[in-house]
Chain A
Amino acid sequence: MISLWTAIWIVPTLVCNRIQFDPDFPPEVPVSETKHLPGQTDRPSESAGAVRLTSLVKRFGDHVVVNDVSMDVAAGEVVAIIGPSGAGKSTLLRCINLLERPDSGIVDVAGIQFDAATPVSGKDLARLRRHVGMVFQSFNLFPHLTVLRNVALPQERVLGISRTEAEEKAIRLLDRVGLKDKAKQYPGRCSGGQQQRIAIARALALGPQIMLFDEPTSALDPELGLEVLAVMRELAAEGMTMAVVTHEMHFARDVSDHLVVMADGAILEEGDPDRIFTDPEQPRTRQFLRAVLDR
């Protein structure tokens, strides 16, 4: 009996590190040491807070979703990524915080460099994600926690600060997104726009240098989308480095410093948003813009 119990209890506990409930969680984290490329630790250089993607390739089976894409986001810059669905925009964005592991290429975020060819240690992954906040199309708030706890819990677990301190900061951030009065509610009682603003507060609470937005308003009706966009505009005005995958063309044009147009896993063209909106170089860009703007 004793040995059976040992088998049932102890063995899984010992190898807890191998436990995986979801095939995508955590993204492949092989055990070997990460090989750092020369001169690439947490360097607080002029490129701090910036993203550099080099020759990124991501396949799902035989399907190449991101095909040899290189892209930069400078510190304090807002980059909007637009393009038809299936263009690989979201996948590209998810490669920045390694929610998707690229099959080849280099991800350089906040001075931490990851080569797709080299395994990433859990420690490096944690370091990367501390620098990068992410907002999802489907909000992904924790439904069993109050709004306040949603914003406070990650701080406690990631930054290791006390509950009181985390909740004070959570209140400040909720106030900032205009939802202080919702602190004691559960997310299920909030509108989509409110949930998305809470999700933004939750990400900001960890003090990221870069914020990724994956179609943050696509699940919202237009009116509710506006309140989310307003928060994002504010954030951009404060100098946050942002990469935004969006179908909001006004936002892309007005707020972004740099526009990236993607189709079929590649960048069609990129540059000044006004220039691209008024005079796109590529016929495919023109076709896409006409389709989205003429409705």
Chain B
Amino acid sequence: MNEILLTILAGVPITLLLTAGALVVGVLGGIPLVAARQSRAAILRLPARATIELLRGIPPIVWLFIIFFGLGTYVRLDAMSAAAIGLGLISCAYLAEIYRGGLAAIAKGQWEASAALGMPRTATLTRVIGPQVGRVCIPAAASYAIGLLKDTSVAFTIGVTEILYWANDQSRETSDAFWPFVLAAVVYIVMTIPCAWAARALDASLRKRVAR
């Protein structure tokens, strides 16, 4: 039992790395995507909407197969990178939508005050609106991140050596189809619950500093 657990724990760094990688791609990539999505120019807005729908409308596992097996036939791509790219792109779409909700939540007066003060557009976005949107988005982004942490388990299907990979490995090794997976479940829950607590605490402390 101990040995099974230790083997499964070996997958934790990979799971965390994959989650963090995809999240970084999503948090950054979501910004230009929401910018295009909210653009006045249809030439940006429509492709951005299409991209978001496409990324969200196809299951992660299918994306990973397309990238790893499909693109993999043309480009050398290891499983970890393929998973990070796939989950990262999907995260871009989800975070863009979270940002969009955040933008809608910012009081119109913040834009008006910035305009009336004659603040340049970049300063308005980076110093006034952006920081507030960031704060509004924390709860939604945090629950997305927790979902993402769980979703990294699909990377097992393309051979990334994360938690589920080792659980499956141990299941075959020990011919036990129960305990390795239950232990994997415990490992996941031990990681996700504190994340949720932390997000809630962070949100509560930042909530007051946003005008909605």
A12 near B35 with CB under 8 A, answer yes
CA distance A159 to B109 in the complex (A): 22
Determine if B64 is an interface residue (Cβ-Cβ < 8 Å).
no
Number of chain A residues close to chain B: CB under 8 A: 46
A18-B40, A144-B132 known; A26-B110 Cβ under 8 A? no
B51 near A154 with CB under 8 A, answer no
Determine if A9 is an interface residue (Cβ-Cβ < 8 Å).
yes
Give the residue name and chain of the B residue nearest to A28 (CB).
Answer: B40
Give the residue name and chain of the A residue nearest to B123 (CB).
Answer: A157
Return chain B residues, CB-CB under 8 Å to A142: 110, 113, 128, 132, 211
CA distance A154 to B127 in the complex (A): 10
The B-contacting residues of A in range 77-125, CB under 8 angstroms, are: 97, 99, 125
Return chain B residues, CB-CB under 8 Å to A125: 118
B120 near A157 with CB under 8 A, answer yes
Number of chain B residues close to chain A: CB under 8 A: 47
A12 near B44 with CB under 8 A, answer yes
Give the residue name and chain of the B residue nearest to A206 (CB).
Answer: B117
A158 near B119 with CB under 8 A, answer yes
Return chain B residues, CB-CB under 8 Å to A134: 113, 116-117
Return chain A residues, CB-CB under 8 Å to B135: 144
B17 to chain A, nearest CB (A): 20
B109 near A138 with CB under 8 A, answer yes
Return chain A residues, CB-CB under 8 Å to B41: 15, 18
Determine if A22 is an interface residue (Cβ-Cβ < 8 Å).
yes
A1 near B112 with CB under 8 A, answer no
Q: Could you list 4 further interchain pairs (A-B, Cβ under 8 angstroms) beyond the known A7-B47, A143-B210, A144-B132?
A: A13-B32, A132-B116, A143-B132, A144-B135
